[in-house]
Amino acid sequence: MSASDPLLSALVRHRDELDQAIGLRATEIVRAWMIKTSRAHLCVDEENRSLALTDDRSGLLDDRDEAHDHGFSFDGLNDAIGNLPPELIRWEKTAPSGYTVILADLNTHLGRVYNDRNANPITSTDPWEVQ
């Protein structure tokens, strides 16, 4: 068996590091928005898991909603949601049920990344995930 190509190995390593950096920045953006708007959770669409929804899941959050007053763009928020690590978007069974980002999960994730708290792992409640 031959050794792997060094350039390919370096590029794959770089891609993995870039994916982690994107996920980290996305987590920081969504967390900042949730704190500024005093939210403990954020509903997201089921199809792409990349769009912020109203609390009753009846429509998309947009510039008429509260975040506009805090200097956040919804395009930026939706971009960040779409780039969150998958384990940070969970299926919630509370009414109305659906995919949700939980502020406490973001805090726990960032605590582990920055090694500043002894956090428990996030468990997925996605009903379609193979356990």
Report the first-to-last Cα separation within the chain, whole angstroms.
34
Whether residue 23 lies inside any domain: the answer is: yes
Domain count, the chain: 1
Q: Does residue 131 belong to any structural domain of this protein?
A: no
Tell me what pLDDT residue 117 has: 56
- Under the phi-then-psi rule, with left for phi > 0, alpha for psi from -120 to 50, and beta for the rest, what region is 57? left
List Cα–Cα distances, 31 to 54, 55, 88, 98, 129, in angstroms.
17, 17, 11, 19, 25
Question: Residue with structure tokens 């995930």?
Answer: 129
Please choose, from the candidates 32, 59, 57, 23, the residue with its C-alpha nearest in 3D space to the C-alpha of residue 43.
57
Residue 91 β-bridge partners: 99
Residue 81 in domain? yes
Domain that holds residue 43: 6-113
Q: What is the pTM of this model?
A: 0.78
Can you give the pLDDT at residue 40? Answer: 93
Question: In this structure, is residue 128 part of a structural domain?
Answer: no
Residue pLDDT tens, the chain, 131 long: 456 899 999 999 999 999 999 999 999 999 999 998 899 999 999 888 899 998 888 888 876 555 555 667 888 899 999 999 999 999 988 767 899 999 999 999 998 888 765 544 444 433 334 33
